[in-house]
Amino acid sequence: MLQSMRHIAQSWVVKGLMAILVVSFGIWGIGDMFRGNPLQRAVAKVGGDSITVQQLENEFKQTLQRARQMIGPDVTEQQARQMGLVDASLNALIERSLMQQDIQKLGLLVSDKTVYEFLARQPQFKDKDGKFDPKILRQMLAQAQLSEHEMVSEESKDLAYRQIVGLFSGDVSQPKLIVEDVAKARTQKRILEIASIQNSAVKITKMPSDKDLQGFYQDNLKDFTQPEYRGITIAVLSTDSVMKDIAISDDQALKEYQTKGDLYAHGDMRDIVQVVTQSEDKAKQIAKAAVASKNLTEAGKAEGIEAIEIAHADDKSLLPELIKTVADLKTAGQIMQPVKTDLGWHVIQLKKLTPAGKDSFDAIKNTIKDSMRRDQAVEITTHMVNQLDDELAAGHSLEDIADALKLRLIRVASVDAMGHDKNGKDPAELPNKDVVLKTAFAQNSGEVSPVIDDKAGGYFVVRTDEVTSSTPKPFDTVRADVITDWTAQ
């Protein structure tokens, strides 16, 4: 995300892991790869996780979009493949999978609140007055084709993983043999002679006859065959949409605050900065330098180790070995001596202490209202889902059900298994793309799916309206493409 961890893939440790990955990557290009059974095919396996064609295509599209923003809008998919963006996209997914597996093993968690506080400190999201501007964040998310939920989820994983990376970023000793081999590889030079032949320099002396073109068309019929298309309708119900119609008064929020006051009490909370290293001696050096300079971040940086900021740390979020020592930090700027945990040697500096207490009603009034609205919305949504199930079982049309329950209907006239229309473009709107396509292509025309939970507070139903079978395109409509392919062979 904001501070990409992709440089980790250059280390010999991760390269060793990648060497044992089972990668079924038999492709000549992104288009050829997406034939056959595209939605379920795995292009890579990382431990027990599979990376699907659909995931790779989505990652490739996002990478291509970012490349167009940096290089220019005219970059084609073919040029992107030649630049290695397919491999880069796959590597990014592999690294992300490795990252998530490590995070799960260690049980590292970063709250949404911590993520937003981290984002608010980033200069790229601040306005000209140096204040955090949510509009700038949303604009950048739109350009990157990411939802806010996806961004928070990925950034939470990234911040958690930075704690792991800190263990290896400054003081890992490499075997001498590997160091020498890497040094040779980086310092060796090659003298190359390159002969470049432009396509325009190749002259076709004989143009194909209609018979030649017809024969080429028949021999390569699969290249001129349109995929199967489906017309679909999606009925969408979301907790967020239900929340918009729920209003909570100040009196209702105050009653909730008074009734559940204990929920809004907290123990001592500390904003801290920590450095983690595998060497006790180095930890002591960093602690000594930090005490002298009163700046742990700079002391860690001088030793090649990045400091990690943790907001609102309490007994629940700290490692057990750190709780007592951190509790002794009372004054902003105070630095503790190194403490050993399973992750290494920790040096911590206190930035801010928030004493135990109870948040005032005015300070958390809006938070309470949002929580109450969310709780009510979940209850209402659950009731509506039951109604939706009953209406579907009764055989009522999706349009009548949507009208009665105020569901949003999304119609996609024609889409293939990869989510493209007949012009090769993405539909204007196709929520829950992977599951919707899988469901639509598993149904016959006129069939309606059961209610599907999107695992993010929403539900949807998919109806397959029309099935257009895969057929060869008429020769006359693809004649120009046939000539191009014949000429290129």
Q: Do domains 6-165 and 228-249+362-469 have the same CATH topology?
A: no
- What is the C-alpha end-to-end distance of the chain, expressed in Å? 42
Q: Output the pTM of the full model.
A: 0.46
Return the closest-CA partner of residue 84 out of 16, 22, 30, 5.
30
Rounded Cα gap, residues 386 and 396, in angstroms: 14
Residues contacting 136, CB < 8 A, separation 6+: 124, 125, 126, 127
Rounded Cα gap, residues 348 and 319, in angstroms: 13
**pLDDT digits over 303-313, tens only?**
999 998 988 88
Torsion angles phi and psi, residue 234, rounded to 5: -120, 125
Q: How far is CA 177 from CA 14, 174, 182, in A?
A: 17, 8, 9
Domain boundaries, the chain: 6-165, 228-249+362-469, 265-358
pLDDT of residue 366 exceeding 60: yes
Provide the mean pLDDT of the chain. 81
Q: How far is CA 46 from CA 21, 94, 236, 305, 483, in A?
A: 6, 7, 33, 28, 42
Token digits for 128?
Answer: 């000209």
Of 195-199, 304-308, 465-469, least confident by mean pLDDT is: 195-199
pLDDT of residue 205 exceeding 70: no
**Mean of pLDDT values over 436-450:** 94
Tell me, what DSSP letter sits at residue 426?
P
Comparing 366 with 207, which gets the higher pLDDT? 366
Looking at beta carbons, which pairs linking 315-321 to residues 24 or more positions away fall under 8 Å? 315/267, 317/109, 319/343, 319/346
Rounded Cα gap, residues 144 and 161, in angstroms: 22
Rounded Cα gap, residues 379 and 341, in angstroms: 43
Q: How far is CA 303 from CA 279, 300, 329, 425, in A?
A: 12, 5, 24, 50
Q: Give the pLDDT band of residue 199 (cuts 50, 70, 90).
A: low
pLDDT for the residue 311: 86
pLDDT for the residue 293: 95
Q: Considering the chain, what percentage of its residues have pLDDT values greater than 70?
A: 85
Topology adopted by domain 265-358: Chitinase A; domain 3 (3.10.50)
Topology adopted by domain 228-249+362-469: Chitinase A; domain 3 (3.10.50)
pLDDT for the residue 144: 65
- Contact between residue 168 and residue 174 where contact means Cβ atoms under 8 Å apart: no
**Mean of pLDDT values over 355-375:** 89
* Residue 400 burial (CB count, 10 A): 10
Rounded Cα gap, residues 117 and 105, in angstroms: 25
pLDDT of residue 254 exceeding 80: yes
Q: Give the pLDDT band of residue 128 (cuts 50, 70, 90).
A: confident
Comparing 18 with 188, which gets the higher pLDDT? 188
Topology adopted by domain 6-165: Triger factor/SurA peptide-binding fold (1.10.4030)
**Mean of pLDDT values over 240-257:** 92
Token digits for 149?
Answer: 């939920």
